[in-house]
Amino acid sequence: MTVIRWGLIGCGDVTEVKSGPAFAKADNSALIAVMRRDAAKAEDYARRHGVPRWHNDAQAIIAAPDIDAVYIATRPDSHHDYCLRCAAAGKAVYVEKPMAMNYAQCLSMTDACETGGVPLFVAYYRRAMPYLLTVKDLLEDGAIGRVCAVQTRHFSRLPPDAERTGGHLPWRFDPTFGSGGIFFETACHGLDILDFFFGPITHVKGFARNVAGAYPPEDTVTASYAFASGVIGSGLWCFAAERDDEIIEIIGTAGSLTFHPFSFAPIHLTHGGSVRAFPIANPTHVQQPLIQSIVDELNGIGRCPSTGLSAARTAWVIETILQDYHPA
């Protein structure tokens, strides 16, 4: 087995627990260097996490001869550029979600990695988590019969006033750095997991509105979609609600499954008039199972379930849902 040597571009909050430590804890994996434009913060991260090197210039990571793969954990507006540079340098790429600002950039990234002869993976880490794999196993075992439909509901409160005052919006609400606020940043996880369960969505129609007026992007979205597999689905997302609530229900000919891809509350299987609960614990570093699958694939063992091609499909769905609110 070869130890895959990683470089990390953008060592911000998402990398503190969810992902960063997993690169050292995964088998046959090592985190060699990290980069952040703020040199003091890069140095602090490296010191706290036991990383040998730190930089304030991404090119030092991209060009390093002792780095095999690069994890891009910056804002979505920089993913495309960093990915193309890594591909040109012959580095395998693991990029945070959302994969890019739009579907066209996603296609450009997959093309660049194909041309460069390097794999492209995307951090839809739920595809490798025991919680969601339990749902997938139940579906494949026929626990609810043939799947007919799936329904998503995701509500949350507006962010605190303190995050929306002072003249500077947090980047997730600033159109400069994304095309859809919390929906763009969050709903992609749920839609991607449906792609994982049922295959590609081939038809989709959505409506988006800004009801509360708290920030420029939409806060309320509804959509209907059809999968190539024959399953049909719908979703309602409201990020200006008076409560937090999220659930996905899968309806089959012999029962139903409900699960919670954000809170990870117990999965419930309803079948034959009875309900069975499946409480599934998450790993401490939630991206570690997916990172392990990447390391294994780079060593010629198995396949990572989240690729540039699958993530690009999710980007297309999001963009299509929002196309009337964000015309090209």
Do 189 and 267 fall into the same domain? yes
The answer on 258 and 176 residing in a single domain is yes
**Local confidence band at 167 (pLDDT 50, 70, 90 cut-offs):** low
Examine residue 29 and state whether it is found in any structural domain, yes or no: yes
Q: Are residues 296 and 256 in the same domain?
A: no
Verify that 8 and 141 share a domain, yes or no.
no
* pLDDT for 247: 98
Q: Average pLDDT in the 179-189 region?
A: 87
User: Do residues 118 and 21 share a domain?
Assistant: yes
Q: Which residue has the tokens 């081939």?
A: 202
Query: Does some domain include residue 313?
Result: no
Do 158 and 94 have their domain in common?
A: no
Which residues form the domain of 178?
Answer: 130-282
Beta-strand pair 29-35/4-9: parallel
Average pLDDT over residues 15-44: 97
Q: Which residue has the higher pLDDT, 167 or 288?
A: 288
Q: Considering the domain boundaries, does residue 328 fall inside one?
A: no
Give the pLDDT score at 180.
Answer: 66
Let me know whether 149 and 278 are in one domain: yes
* Assigned domain for 212 exists: yes
Domain assignment of residue 106, yes or no: yes
Region 149-172: what's the mean pLDDT? 80
Q: Which of 58, 59, 54, 32 is nearest to 43 (CA)?
A: 54
Residue 122, pLDDT above cutoff 90: yes
Reference 206, options 177, 237, 230; nearest CA is: 237
Residues 174 and 204 reside in one and the same domain = yes
Q: What is the pLDDT of residue 288?
A: 98
For residue 289, cis peptide bond before it (omega within 30 degrees of 0): no
Mean pLDDT of 62-79: 97
Instruction: Please tell me whether residues 147 and 274 are part of one structural domain.
Output: yes
- Tell whether 277 is covered by a domain: yes
Confidence of residue 162 (pLDDT cuts 50, 70, 90): low
CB atoms under 10 Å from CB of 70, counted, come to 28
Distance separating alpha carbons of residues 135 and 267, to the nearest angstrom: 8
pLDDT band at 170 (very low <50, low <70, confident <90, very high): confident
Read off the pLDDT of each residue in 129-135 and give the average, rounded to a whole number.
Answer: 98
59 found inside a domain: yes
* Same domain flag for 141 and 278: yes
Q: Domain total for the chain?
A: 2
CA–centroid distance for 168 within its chain = 26
Per DSSP (E only), the strands in 239-328 are 245-252, 255-259, 267-271, 274-278
Could you tell me what percent of the chain has a pLDDT over 70? 96
- Is the model's pLDDT at 244 over the cut of 90? yes
pLDDT for residue 1 is more than 90: no
Q: Which of 65, 50, 63 is nearest to 9 (CA)?
A: 63
- DSSP 3-state percent helix, strand, coil across the chain (nearest 5): 35, 25, 40
Task: Return the DSSP state at 66.
Answer: T
Q: How far is 263 from 174, CA to CA, in rounded Å? A: 26
- Does residue 216 share a domain with residue 298? no
Span 148-160, mean pLDDT? 94
Segment 203-238, tens digit of pLDDT: 999 999 999 998 889 999 999 999 999 999 999 999
Q: Say yes or no: 150 and 105 in one domain.
A: no
pLDDT band at 179 (very low <50, low <70, confident <90, very high): low
User: To which H or E segment does residue 47 belong?
Assistant: helix 39-49
Average pLDDT for residues 176-196, to the nearest whole number?
A: 88
CATH of the domain at 55: 3.40.50.720
Q: Is residue 315 part of a domain?
A: no
* Averaged pLDDT for residues 117-134: 98
Most confident of 83-97, 148-162, 171-185: 83-97
Mean of per-residue pLDDT scores for the chain: 95
Interval 246-295: pLDDT, tens: 999 999 999 999 999 999 999 999 999 999 999 999 999 999 999 999 99
Task: Report the CATH number that the domain containing residue 208 is assigned in CATH.
Answer: 3.30.360.10
